[in-house]
Structure formats: structure tokens, C-alpha cells
Amino acid sequence: MKISAYPITEAKLSNAGGLDLLLLGCGSAFASTLNQTNILLVKDNHHLLIDCGTRCATALQQVGLSLSDIQMFLITHSHADHIGGLEQAQLTGRYISKNKPSMIITPQYQDILWDQSLRGGVEQSEVGRLTFSDFWNVIRPNPLTGFNRDCWQTSVGSIDIKMFRTKHFPDQAKSWQDSAWSCGTLIDDRILFTSDTRFDPELLEEFDSSFNLEVIFHDCQLFTGGVHTGIEELAGLPKDLRQKIVLVHYGDNWRDFTSLATKAKFHSWGQQGYTYQFN
Ligand SMILES: [Zn+2]
């Protein structure tokens, strides 16, 4: 399908009403020439940042925004290319902008994110020990039933967000249940963003058959193995799925794989610094 995408000149946190998906980066955790795969959704006067890696503040600055402009966050898992910018976000909110941002987060992942990552740099304070909710307005998504994995739903203005568990790490985990906490998102029941996941065709088949997806922004590792989906694995998917896949979270050497991607008839390589417009 045709997807309208154009380079971001100056990003805004409001628009005339369609859904804009700003791809702030399309790189893997180890890419040095690409920003990290963090995305910003905008519709009407509402926005949502999905993931905030170590380089997110710089990626936002490159499109004319500041991290302190961002008031709504959703985090998919605890790797640094997805959470490394949160310490700056929470300290800025409390001590500089004095404007507490919001985060959509399940109780289980809130405990993991706070206890294993965020508390170290901020817990001790001028007024004693602080907790997650001293830095973040907590927004709880509602659990959903009827899916083959744990799912939740919430809304950001008129943006519908569904979250689904994924199997990302460790690599020997047999299922999403055995994996560390990680999730992907379904946006407005039309755009699937896997965030990081190992190859999981059941996930794609379930959501594509339920929602007839328009586009799938899919984790794409340029080799097979480890904790991501390899490009060769994606190339083995049915054609109707391949044609919907925009490759993201790839390495610096992606140009070595352009002929493979063309042959597999993927939709495209995700373009960093572009807005994908869904009217
Ligand atoms: Zn990851």
C-alpha cells in the first residue's frame, strides 16, 4: 500500500486531526550512524512518545523539540535504547520544568522499571526517598481479553493504543511468558509497532487477521539469532505480510541488504527523521 511519508522540518505536538507517526530514529541498540528506534505519535492536540533511549533528547532536538516538551510516554522494555533518556526526563520534570510527565504503564512493568533501572539516580532527594509516582503521573492501561497473549488498551486523546506482550529476551525463552517484560503497540487498530521482538509469526498472524493491519513497523536485525528478528526470517513470511513491513531497528550496514529487501518485497526501510501520515 501507499504510505505517505515526508521529511520532518519542524515537528509540532499538534496537528489538524490525522495520525502522524514521527520516526525519530530507525537504528538498533548498536547503530552509531542512526538514532534509536523511538517514535512520536501526534493527533489533534495529543502526543505520545513510545520509548526514550539514551539519544532521544538529541533526536527530538534534531526535529525542533525538547525532551521537556514531551508529556506522555509509553515504554516497551528496559534496554537502554528504549529507556536511557528517562532519567533526564524525570529529573527535568521535577527540578527544571516543574511539570510532571505522564506514563502509560502496567503495575508489573512499573515495578521492574523503577526497581531495576530508574530509582538509582533519583530516589534519594531533598525530601527523603522518592518513588515512581513522584516523577510520573501514572496512567494504567486496561487489560484486554480475547488475545493469545497479555494485552492492554488505553487512549491518548483519540489515539487508540493497544499493548501486547512480546518475546524479546533472553534468546532461550520459549514464549512471551518466559521472556523478560517487553511489549509492542497497536496504534488505532491499523499500525503495528513491534518494538523489539524475536521472530514471532504467530503475533503477526493474530493481529493481521484480527485487524487487517495497514502497516507493520518491524524490528529488523541484519543477521539471524540473538534477541531480535532477522531480516532473513522476515523474508520467509507470507507475501501479504511482507508487503506491509516497514523495517526499523536495523544496523549501520543496512545498505548491504537493500537487494535482499527489494527481492522480499518489504514495504520499505524506515526513514529516520520522517513523518508517516495516516489520515
Ligand atoms: Zn531491546
Nearest alpha carbon to residue 146 among 88, 209, 238:
209
Q: Is residue 6 part of a domain?
A: no
Q: Is residue 3 part of a domain?
A: no
How many domains does the chain divide into? 1
Ligand 1 midpoint to CA 250 (Å): 12
Contact between 229 and 238 (Cβ < 8 Å): no
Cis? peptide before 170, omega within 30° of 0? yes
Q: Is residue 207 part of a domain?
A: yes
Ligand 1 midpoint to CA 159 (Å): 25
For residue 218, list its beta bridge partners: 247
Q: Pinpoint the alpha helices (H) of the chain.
A: 56-62, 80-83, 86-91, 107-113, 119-122, 132-135, 201-211, 231-235, 239-242, 258-264
Ligand 1 midpoint to CA 167 (Å): 10
Q: Is residue 268 part of a domain?
A: yes
Q: Which residues of the chain have pLDDT under 50?
A: none
* Cβ < 5 A residues, ion ligand 1: 79, 196
CATH label of the domain that carries residue 170: 3.60.15.10
Ligand 1 midpoint to CA 43 (Å): 27
For the stretch 27-62, pLDDT in tens is: 999 999 999 999 999 999 999 999 999 999 999 999
Ligand 1 midpoint to CA 228 (Å): 8
Amino acid, res. 169:
F
For the stretch 115-151, pLDDT in tens is: 999 999 999 999 999 999 999 999 999 999 999 999 9
Ligand 1 midpoint to CA 79 (Å): 5
- pTM of this prediction exceeds 0.75: yes
Q: How many CB atoms lie within 10 A of CB 265?
A: 11
Q: Is residue 1 part of a domain?
A: no
- So what's the pLDDT on residue 273? 96
Ligand 1 midpoint to CA 17 (Å): 32
- So what's the pLDDT on residue 279? 87
Q: Is residue 5 part of a domain?
A: no
Whole domain around residue 159: which residue ranges? 14-278
- So what's the pLDDT on residue 1? 64
- So what's the pLDDT on residue 3? 83
Ligand 1 midpoint to CA 77 (Å): 7
Ligand 1 midpoint to CA 101 (Å): 23
- What is the rounded CA–CA span in Å between residue 231 and residue 199? 10
Ligand 1 midpoint to CA 207 (Å): 21
Q: Is residue 8 part of a domain?
A: no
Q: Is residue 130 part of a domain?
A: yes
Ligand 1 midpoint to CA 261 (Å): 22
Ligand 1 midpoint to CA 33 (Å): 18
